[in-house]
Structure 1
Amino acid sequence: MEDEKMTNQDLIYQFKIELAEIEPTIWRVIQVPSKFSFWDLHVAIQDSMGWLDYHLHVFRMIESRKKKHIEIGIPDEELGFQEILPGWETPITKFFNEPGRSAIYNYDFGDGWSHYVLLEGILLKEKGVKYPVCIQGERACPPEDCGGVPGYERMIEILANLDHPERIAYNEWLKVCAKNYYPYDPSEFDPDKVHFCSPKKRLKIMLSS
């Protein structure tokens, strides 16, 4: 019993997150405690990718035996969609029970950002490491509210053209974003600079709003 208890406490889940429909791929590899809920994982994905958690999100899991989608996120009865399980009440171990399991993580239903989330492995916690942690990744996250994939691609094209008539306007917009994206370098990402916020504090703010 003691060995089983120690194992459960010391397990770490390693996920790879890829932003869909963008080339070159924007991706991250994060390691999180196995005790995480889907809300905790949501916050870790937001922080590692560089999103600001301004919008709704949902995880879409496939129950293989029933062959149906299960949605986990923030329930909203007014929207009339299929039942959404509360992320803060749903442990990741309920669906991510073995390496190779995957999900779609959708964020900002207006801009429509879709992420592939893959459980790469289940590891033992390393001494001296504070989890969650981002261990790898490439390329900067798109700025919030830039217009989804088409808006992002248009922005990158304009910023790369020094003579484009809209380049000054785009740079001015980037300067006044809530998170200062200026100067915006789409190729820049440093996993050591990722700061993970407290999921409990974030949940308290969300529930009180």
Structure 2
Amino acid sequence: MLRARSDAAKDKRRQALLTAALDEVFEKGFAATRMDDVARRAGLSKGTLYLYFDSKEALFQGLIESLAYPNLEIVEQITEQAETLQEALQGIRQFAPTLIRQTDLPRLMKVLIGDSQLFPDLVRAYREDLIERVLAMIAALLSRADARGEANIADPELTARLIMAPIIFSALWQGVFNQNSEADVDLDKLFEIHEQMMLKALEIRCVS
């Protein structure tokens, strides 16, 4: 097997390994997944796999980073660029179905829940690198809205969890119960309803 010489070729091989790894751990669980099987599924040698990831834990950490960081950037753009809280909630509502339907985060969450006791450090990294950072972004958004009198928010940190709750639940539903679209949910309608409920609960008003 020839080594990848260009950065583009290296990125392509790395992504192939990450995709294969997610497929393996999703089907077999973290404990039963072997590095040999990941390499074989990716169509690469085990030696090539170890050039990119020196352990199964490093491979899984790479999965977390590859799936979390791009979506974190989108949430950051929504929360930072929105001129009003209502606009930000609308942006979150529009992005949530895409996050669940078109990314592998639901599958990764299923693996984390199923095998969390086997790799607590990686679970903590997922919580810190994705969940808590998203919650902090939304809490900061809520704090700014409260400070300028746009909404009535007594506890931004806990309110951020209420905003995220249906997204987390829907991702779990997708990864655990709806793998073959046999228990599909109208996500667009669900998040539209949730947005309207939050607008009323937060008493959002225009600020001149």
* Range class of TM-score, shorter chain: under 0.3
More helix by share: 2
Query: Structure with the greater relative contact order (CA < 8 A, sep ≥ 6): 1 or 2?
Result: 1
In terms of Rg, which structure is larger? 2
More strand by share: 1
Q: TM-score, normalised by structure 1?
A: 0.24
